[in-house]
Amino acid sequence: MRTQVVIVGSGPSGLLLGQLLAKAGIDAVILEQKSKEYVLARIRAGVLEQGAAELIEEAGAAGRLRKEGLVHDGTEIAFNGERHRIDFKALTGKTVIVYGQTEVTRDLMDARTAIGVPTFYEALDVSLHDIETEKPLVRFRANGAVHEILCDYIAGCDGFHGVSRRSVPEDKLRTFERVYPFGWLGILVDKPPASHELVYVNHERGFALCSMRSKTRSRYYLQCRVDEHVEDWPDDKFWDELTRRLDAEALRNLQIGPSIEKSIAPLRSFVAEPMRFGNLFLAGDAAHIVPPTGAKGLNLAASDVAYLSSAFIERYNRNSSAGLDSYADRALARVWKAERFSWWMTQILHRFPEASGFDQRIQRTEFNYLFSSEAAQTALAENYVGLPY
């Protein structure tokens, strides 16, 4: 086969890139190791910056997002049992939209199906070849046969464990990582949320978060130890611990019920540099991971796609490689800002097992400053709603 761009991975970043390229008349094939059903079963975060929502609209996949997404003007942070609201709209003029990543993926899949462009699901043994040449080749196995695709460029959108980043020689790649000494235990429940906006909680027993996927489906998280397992947390134990960490207002509105999904996610910060090697371009989790505290994972993937799609369009429509040549630097500049913000949110909202009395006093002082300073609240709001692309 022959195409212009091979996209490895059919998560939101790969699908969004494929849709934007298709609308610009650029041929692209998507390869996905898992089945379509498996991809849609992944439960991920659901807070979208305005820039990400606008990009999905540009891709022609925002119909349900605009109808069903919940616009949030702010968020609340609880410390020492007291809640403080950060008003995004008043401080920045911007808002965020709560809309599950699974739904974003479904909408992009449907949009791709509607225009009839190729996606290979259950593409096994994907390997990338000649990525430093002008004609890279991608080999994979599907439907009992081995296939090869010649292309101009490869977009690695296949996540942290995918083949794309592993295809870069180790001596050509630098990685930066911080692994946190706790995880997030999350459950999904078909009950209305405890608050109309997200509530972040710093409690002496650990972090908690009251979130949502819709007006009738809630998502709750607890900080847990990294060595714990889902089986250690039956529903009754989860609800008992959550009620210990919430403030009185949240408790009055909390509706408990049987979980329909439960999982534990480890927390890490990770960046791989550069995000380009030859004619292979990394995007999304293939290049960087952020702890979910700052709601930046999906949004960073979207900003990568914004830069990369415009660069491909410039290359094919204007025969200019300037955008491709600057992609890695532009993307990484935004990545590191989001990494800093996500790290900071994680630092102030969690209880670290090794924290000293000094560390705890510094954390308290951070909150005192945040709650008393409009400048500090504006800085948080500007980072949360998303810096400009």
Q: Is 200 one of the annotated active-site residues of the chain?
A: yes
Beta strands of 82-169 (E only): which ranges? 82-87, 96-98, 119-120, 124-129, 137-142, 145-150, 153-156
Q: What is the CA radius of gyration of the chain?
A: 21
Which residues make beta-bridge pairs with 84?
A: 77
Tallying the residues shown for the chain, one arrives at 389
Q: Given 99, 153, 200, 307, which residue is catalytic?
A: 200
Q: Given 99, 220, 327, 384, which residue is catalytic?
A: 384
Q: Is 72 one of the annotated active-site residues of the chain?
A: yes
Q: Given 12, 72, 136, 180, which residue is catalytic?
A: 72
Peptide bond into 274 cis (omega under 30): yes
Q: 93 near 144, Cβ under 8 Å?
A: no
| Alpha-carbon gap, residue 198 to 250, rounded angstroms | 11
Q: Given 220, 221, 288, 296, which residue is catalytic?
A: 296
68: Cβ contacts below 8 Å, ≥ 6 apart: 99, 103, 214
Q: What is the DSSP string of 274-323?
A: -SEETTEEE-GGGTEE--GGGS-HHHHHHHHHHHHHHHHHHHHHH---HH
User: What Å distances lie between residue 236 and 222, 224, 240, CA to CA?
Assistant: 14, 16, 6
38: Cβ contacts below 8 Å, ≥ 6 apart: none
Q: Given 180, 203, 292, 307, which residue is catalytic?
A: 292
| Residues forming the active site | 72, 200, 292, 296, 384
